[in-house]
Chain A
Amino acid sequence: MTETRTETREETQKETRQTPVRRPRGPRRKYALLDLAAPVLAVLFAMAVASVALLVIGKNPLAVYGTMFAFSFGRLDSVAAILYKATPLIFSGLAVAVGFRAKLFNIGVEGQYLIGAFCASWVGFAVKGLPAAVHLPLVVLAGALGGALWALVPIWLKVKRGVHEVISTIMLNHTAFLLLHYLIADVFMDKTQVIVGGAGSPRVRMPLMEPTALMPKLHGLAALIGVDLPSHSSLNWMLVFGILLAAGLWYLVWRTPFGVELRAVGHNPDAAEAAGINPSAVYFKTFLMSGAIAGLVGLSDLIGHFGYLDIDFPRGYGFTGIAVALVARNNSLGIILAALLFGFLSRGGLGIQVLEKVPMETYVILQGLIILTIVVFWEVIRRYVRARQKREEASADAQC
């Protein structure tokens, strides 16, 4: 996908004129190396800036970063933890990115995944007696449908009434959370919980999901390639699903007619409309797709780890997903890498807190800096590439 093109300009032209049949690669492919260099440089730059913060609190940045890497990559359980933490972020990054491609700002992934998790949880405990091969897909489907359902209102309001999706999705995030509270604590609260030893209070959670609704762990797959995952790791097949989904979305966006429509509407809805594409329909489909993907965000935790939905279900994946998509510039492969980067920062942050006595906030600072620098670096490179292309066209004009 990121094949590098090394032909010179003259060759490119000759090729264009003489051999019309070629697989198209995006215009950026030619500058793929720059694309890869930017994030790496940005991360290094961000680390350098964060060093200042470390020096201020009297820590040696080299030692801190050293520990961060050693802790994150020196232990198998750390690697598993990074992958596990990255899993929901892959989904949320993809959900945001697919919307971004059509210039739809789905800030509502946060609410959509909570609703998706609820729907999945409900199908997981209320439907009984099905084999796992049926039940599990049904649970995943319920998650997707729940997310899509929560995306339906904002996109309907946008297409029919011109309500900006940022406003409506932000508000629906709050609604989703409060609704979830009500559903978990009141309507579906598991009253059958036995309090061990008669002390304490029951967990505020929904009933336990059926074993047939749970996602198998990745230990078996890891064993095949000779890796012995620690038994306490919750790494599960949602990771593989997320990677496949990333590949599928890449194909959809770049290789299908719908992808052409999606990007055309995203870049210029007026021109798309004049060409005979119905922008409203594209917005509608894209946003529902974004919502459906968002509905899968919480599933790795829900059916890969907890097995029930409780009031403390992890939050914030939706917002981190925006950062992931931004850093990855909506590129599928980039989203996987960005999610891994965020997973690494979070795991490494834990490591330096325990081993170096550096406050956990360092990781937040680093994450913020990385987002900022990557975005800036990429903008700089984008302008450079644009100027280069202009020059090439200008010389093409002059030669003909």
Chain B
Amino acid sequence: MTNTTPVLQLQGITKRFPGVVANDRVTFDVGAGEIHAVVGENGAGKSTLMKIVTGLYPPDEGCIIFKGRPVAFRSPGQAIAAGIGIVHQHFMLVDAFTVAENVILGAEPARLGVIDPKTSVRQVSELCDRFGLKVDPAARVEDISVGEQQRVEILKVLYRGAEVIILDEPTAVLVPQEVEELFEHLMALKGQGKTVIFISHKLDEVLRVADVITVLRQGRVVGTVPAAEVTRERLAEMMVGRPVLFDLKRGPAAPGGVVLSVEGLTSVNGSRAVLDDLSLEVRAGEIYGLAGVEGNGQTELAEAIMGLRPVTGGRVTLLGEDVTNLSTGEVRRRRVAYIPEDRHRRGLVLPMTVWENVILGVHRSPEFSRGGRLLFRSILSSTEEAVRRFDVRLASVLAPAQTLSGGNQQKLILAREFRGDPGFILASQPTRGLDIGATEFVRQELLNARDRGAAVLLISADLEEVLSISDRIGVIYNGHIQAEFGRDEADPRTLGAYMTGARTARREGGSVAS
């Protein structure tokens, strides 16, 4: 399939966990000096496979052949010593250390047991030069950007002599400009003869950067294809197992009156202002997409609106009523739906049953309880109906929510929150971690709600998501809205510039009034 000699060969790798086969006879070759993408939906077995390759798990069956010889790594340390290194999605860096210190950590150049800082800085800057990775070896990790931190992670594996570098969902944390830079780096690595394995589920990126693509579905290899011979639609179909609609049904926006109005909102965490004079408005029948790099106040904004975080200044108004610092219960009583960003922490009570999760929050409504007694007849029929409407796949509504898959858990939250036709929907990272099918479903539901006249505030770190369904887009940076755009004026590069703070403070608030 490739015209180069394989450096890494996976032959019949099988890994079973209780109840699931995570990898089922996975077989493919990775050619030397190529960028090989491994794509698949969540739960397709990508991460498990990489954990096996890097020695974190032993395979139940099958073998790994590296540079022509069978290997069986028993730890990531052995894998990296042999020349296979991995850059995890979540960085493993010591914030208080410098770049150089982080790079050498665990493999320090030492003389008589004393670390030689000069040598380490020199070695690291040599590495940077050789691979064109721009980062200051003397800078502290806490002071550099996420993109630079990722370069430090890449440096770490290069420093240890890796020939095969695995990147696990590397673009998930990056803004568009950083993604561009990462791709340049990957090309540079390839130019230097390194082999890159790129794990992703973002098809556009994979098609741009990869030479060869292997698609996994439900633990099996669906196929290994040259990137030049495949289309996005074809890849998606291979991943999902059916054709995927990329174009959601969306009618023209018909914005009505202002539903949510946030004025000069300020919230302080310790001595740091996490929300800084933030203002925005969301109208009935529109989706307001809030783009931004994570950690710029999105979580705090959602919590402040929902009454989960005290507000120190400014106002939140819902349909003309001041709801600032009201309790969550009181906010919710105003036909508010809330899809929390972390469905395990805020969204569901995982050990409790599906029906209990569906009535949570409305369990005291006359529909579900009377005289201090739960009305099971009504609860169960209502739960069954909600579950059916949102196509939640489950064996029984009596089973705990934790037995559901991630996509079904998210649908369950939608089923609860969209009951009773909400007037305002706060959707925070609504498709995070969902596969293509579920993502499509959730986005379409948000659009449908908007068409029914709901005001939707969509907070998402996924720029593609914001661009695809929003009617208006705001960019949040350091707890402040830096710029607002109409749907047609926004493009990834401009948004990216505001997201990183490279450009600040632009207002086009008036562009929505229709």
Does B360 touch A at the CB level, under 8 Å?
yes
State whether B363 touches A268 (Cβ < 8 A): no
State whether B376 touches A271 (Cβ < 8 A): no
Taking A271-B347, A274-B338, A276-B329 as contacts, is the C-beta distance between A397 and B408 under 8 angstroms? yes
Q: Scan residues 225-282 of chain A and give those whose CB is less than 8 A from a CB of chain B.
A: 255-261, 263-264, 267-268, 270-278
State whether A274 touches B306 (Cβ < 8 A): yes
State whether B345 touches A271 (Cβ < 8 A): yes
Chain A residues with CB under 8 A of B373: 255-256
State the CA gap A274–B348 with chains docked (Å): 9
CB distance from B411 to the nearest CB of A (A): 12
State whether A13 touches B398 (Cβ < 8 A): no
Please tell me which stretch of B113-121, B143-151, B349-357, B487-495 contacts chain A, meaning at least 4 of its Cβ atoms lie within 8 angstroms of it: B349-357
State whether A393 touches B350 (Cβ < 8 A): no
Taking A256-B369, A261-B363, A268-B350 as contacts, is the C-beta distance between A22 and B380 under 8 angstroms? yes
Contact check: which of B327, B360, B372 meets A258 at CB < 8 Å? B372
Chain A residues with CB under 8 A of B359: 260
State the CA gap A257–B18 with chains docked (Å): 35
State whether B393 touches A260 (Cβ < 8 A): no
Does B89 touch A at the CB level, under 8 Å?
no
State the CA gap A276–B19 with chains docked (Å): 35
Does A161 touch B at the CB level, under 8 Å?
no
State the CA gap A73–B24 with chains docked (Å): 58
Chain B residues with CB under 8 A of A26: 353, 398
Taking A392-B403, A393-B403 as contacts, is the C-beta distance between A257 and B393 under 8 angstroms? no
Taking A258-B372, A260-B363, A396-B394 as contacts, is the C-beta distance between A276 and B352 under 8 angstroms? no
Q: Produce 1/0 per residue, B369-411, CB < 8 A to A.
A: 1001110110111001100000001111111101111001000
Closest to B306 in A: A274
Taking A16-B384, A274-B306, A275-B360 as contacts, is the C-beta distance between A393 and B405 under 8 angstroms? yes
CB distance from B22 to the nearest CB of A (A): 12
Closest to A15 in B: B396
Chain A residues with CB under 8 A of B377: 21
Please tell me which stretch of A105-113, A208-216, A383-391 contacts chain B, meaning at least 4 of its Cβ atoms lie within 8 angstroms of it: A383-391
State whether B19 touches A387 (Cβ < 8 A): yes
Chain A residues with CB under 8 A of B379: 24
Does A12 touch B at the CB level, under 8 Å?
yes
Contact check: which of B348, B363, B381 meets A271 at CB < 8 Å? B348
Does A191 touch B at the CB level, under 8 Å?
no
Taking A267-B351, A390-B403 as contacts, is the C-beta distance between A21 and B395 under 8 angstroms? no
Does A400 touch B at the CB level, under 8 Å?
yes
Closest to B381 in A: A20
Chain B residues with CB under 8 A of A277: 329, 360-361
CB distance from A393 to the nearest CB of B (A): 4
CB distance from B372 to the nearest CB of A (A): 5
Taking A24-B376, A271-B345, A273-B328 as contacts, is the C-beta distance between A393 and B395 under 8 angstroms? yes
State whether B394 touches A393 (Cβ < 8 A): yes
CB distance from A197 to the nearest CB of B (A): 59
State the CA gap A346–B260 with chains docked (Å): 65
State whether A260 touches B328 (Cβ < 8 A): no
CB distance from A368 to the nearest CB of B (A): 28
Does B364 touch A at the CB level, under 8 Å?
yes
Query: Interface range on chain A: under 10, 10 to 19, 20 to 34, or 35 or more?
Result: 35 or more
Taking A264-B356, A271-B345 as contacts, is the C-beta distance between A255 and B374 under 8 angstroms? yes
State whether B380 touches A270 (Cβ < 8 A): no
Does A131 touch B at the CB level, under 8 Å?
no
Does B272 touch A at the CB level, under 8 Å?
no
Does A27 touch B at the CB level, under 8 Å?
yes
Taking A24-B380, A264-B352, A392-B399 as contacts, is the C-beta distance between A270 and B346 under 8 angstroms? yes
State whether A257 touches B374 (Cβ < 8 A): yes
State whether A23 touches B403 (Cβ < 8 A): no
Closest to A390 in B: B19
Chain A residues with CB under 8 A of B380: 20-22, 24
State whether B398 touches A24 (Cβ < 8 A): yes
Q: Scan residues 361-390 of chain A and give those whose CB is less than 8 A from a CB of chain B.
A: 386-390
Does B112 touch A at the CB level, under 8 Å?
no
Closest to A399 in B: B393
Taking A13-B396, A389-B399 as contacts, is the C-beta distance between A278 and B404 under 8 angstroms? no
Chain A residues with CB under 8 A of B405: 393-394, 397
Does A315 touch B at the CB level, under 8 Å?
no
Chain A residues with CB under 8 A of B331: 276
State whether B360 touches A9 (Cβ < 8 A): no
State whether B384 touches A20 (Cβ < 8 A): yes
Does A25 touch B at the CB level, under 8 Å?
yes
CB distance from B422 to the nearest CB of A (A): 13
Question: Which 3 pairs across A and B sit closest by C-beta, in order of nearness?
Answer: A275-B361, A276-B329, A391-B19
Chain A residues with CB under 8 Å of chain B are 9, 12-13, 16, 20-27, 255-261, 263-264, 267-268, 270-278, 386-397, 400
